[in-house]
Structure 1
Amino acid sequence: MTIPFKAVAVDMDGTFLNDKRSYDHDLFNQVLSKLEKNHIQFIVASGRPFARLKNDFPEFVDRIDFVTANGSRLIVEGKEVAIEGLTKKQAIDLINFVHNKYGSMATMVYGRKQAYIGTEAPEKDKVFLQYFAKESTELSDWQDLPDEVFIELTFHYDSKIANDIEKKFNERYGSIVTTFASSPVAIDVVKHGINKATGLKKLLAYFGLTGDDLIAFGDSGNDIPMLDFAKYSYAMENGMSIAKEHAKYLAPNNNDNGVLQVLNKYLNKN
């Protein structure tokens, strides 16, 4: 049987990772080796920045590629090949808008190599956000952000207001941002029009591939564009109902190596 896809894209939290934020390294090495023998690309498509993902895949980083920060930054063979983001002014305008309208909340801003978090955030919220950043600095004044491109902002708050933030901020400032419910308590914000599907489309073009060559796995709102884009789309058994509505198939639970189970079935039939 011929394997029907030439590239694999996986979300991290709730999908590739178990609830302890880890994965079976030995099993992944076995699956990755089989994919490599079949000339199939393995792509991590995550809301996480590359600084965090490098730490998640220390022994595999040179064997896989990355669509990071929900499509804002693409990494091939360890090198940045594309980046899209907000200016310092746009990032500050967004933070002020959200905090003034919905109340002060833990907020993180991601640059290329460094993330920034407000000092006023509760300690438990800082711990939550700083895990994803890997490298972060606390700021007491958002005006102290450096003048650079910011690939993503995360608000640690009920994700039900994500669409409201996007709609009302863009109504005031123009089409500037796209928002995602990356978890029930996290809202990711990127440049308008950027998502995992746009990032994957660009990255796949490097390999002469399209969405018809892709199998993708996800569990939450920020995975919807990717699931819609991939010809073979899987939502995790443990995933949000909205993700399941956009996937063609269901994968086993993330705590049961669901992604690797599905891939192994395809690979072992070949």
Structure 2
Amino acid sequence: MKIPFKAVAVDMDGTFLNDQRSYDHQLFDQVLTKLEKHDIRFIVASGRPFARLKNDFPEFIDRMDFVTANGSRLIVEGKEVAVEGLSKQQAINLINFVHNKYGSMATMAYGRKKAYIGTEAPAKDKEFLQYFAKESTEISDWQNLPDDVFIELTFHYDSKIAKDIEQDFNEQYGNLVTTFASNPIAIDAVKYGINKATGLRNLLARFNLTSEDLIAFGDSGNDIQMLDFAKYSYAMENGMEIAKEHARYLAPSNNDNGVLQVLNRYLDKN
């Protein structure tokens, strides 16, 4: 039986990673080796920036591709091949808009190489956001952000208001941002129209592949477009109901190596 896909895309938190934010390195190495024998590409499609992902996969980095920051930055063989983001002023306008409407909250702005977090954020909230950034600097005045492309902003707040932020901000400023409920207490914002599916489409095209060649795994709101895009889509057993509604199949829990279990089922048949 021929393996029906030529590329694998996996979300990280709640999908590939277990609840301790780790994974079975030995098992992953075995699965990745099998994929390589079939010329199947392994792609991490995550809201995480590349600075964090490099730390997550130190021994595998040159054997993988990355769709980072919810589709904003693409990495192939360790090198940036595409980037989309907000300007400094657009990022500042969004931060001020959210804070003025909903109150001050822990906020992180991701540049291409470094992230910035407000000094006023509570210590526990800073710890939560700084884990995902890996490399970050505290900033006391958002006006002092450097001139850079900001690939993603994250607000540590009830994610139920994610689409309200998108709608209200875009009504005032024009279509500038797309938001995702990436976690029950985290809202990610990226450049308008960017998501994991757009990033994957652009990345796959570099290898003459399409959505018909893709199997994808996700668990939350920022995976919806990716699950809709992939021909073979799996939501995790532990995932949000919204993700399950957009997936064709269900994978075992992230705490049971669900992604690797499913991949092994396909690979061991061949």
Aligned-partner Cα distance in 2 for 1:206–1:7: 12
- Where does residue 176 of structure 2 map in the other structure? 176
* DSSP 3-state at the match of 2:143: helix
- Where does residue 30 of structure 2 map in the other structure? 30
* DSSP 3-state at the match of 1:264: helix
Q: Which runs of 5+ in 2 are unaligned?
A: none
* DSSP 3-state at the match of 2:63: coil
- Where does residue 223 of structure 2 map in the other structure? 223
- Where does residue 208 of structure 1 map in the other structure? 208
Matches within 5 A, 1:103-182: 103-182=103-182
Deviation at 1:170, TM superposition (A): 0.0
Q: Which runs of 5+ in 1 are unaligned?
A: none
Question: Which residue type is aligned with residue 151 of structure 1?
Answer: I
- Where does residue 70 of structure 1 map in the other structure? 70
* DSSP 3-state at the match of 2:209: coil
- Where does residue 4 of structure 2 map in the other structure? 4
| Stretches (4+) displaced over 3 A | none
Deviations 1:132-152 (A, max 9, x none): 000000000001100110000
- Where does residue 83 of structure 2 map in the other structure? 83
* DSSP 3-state at the match of 1:80: strand
* DSSP 3-state at the match of 1:62: helix
Question: Which residue type is aligned with residue 59 of structure 1?
Answer: E
Deviation at 1:257, TM superposition (A): 0.1
State the TM-score, normalizing by the size of structure 1. Answer: 1.00
Aligned-partner Cα distance in 1 for 2:128–2:102: 20
* DSSP 3-state at the match of 2:67: strand
State the TM-score, normalizing by the size of structure 2. Answer: 1.00
Deviation at 1:49, TM superposition (A): 0.1
Aligned-partner Cα distance in 1 for 2:59–2:113: 20
Deviations 1:39-59 (A, max 9, x none): 000000000000000000000
Deviations 1:152-210 (A, max 9, x none): 00000000000000000000000000000000000000000000000000000011000
Count of residues in correspondence between the two structures: 270
Superposed CA RMSD: 0.2
Deviation at 1:268, TM superposition (A): 0.1
- Where does residue 269 of structure 1 map in the other structure? 269
Deviations 1:86-126 (A, max 9, x none): 00000000000000001110000000110000000000000
* DSSP 3-state at the match of 1:39: coil
| Identity within the alignment, % | 84
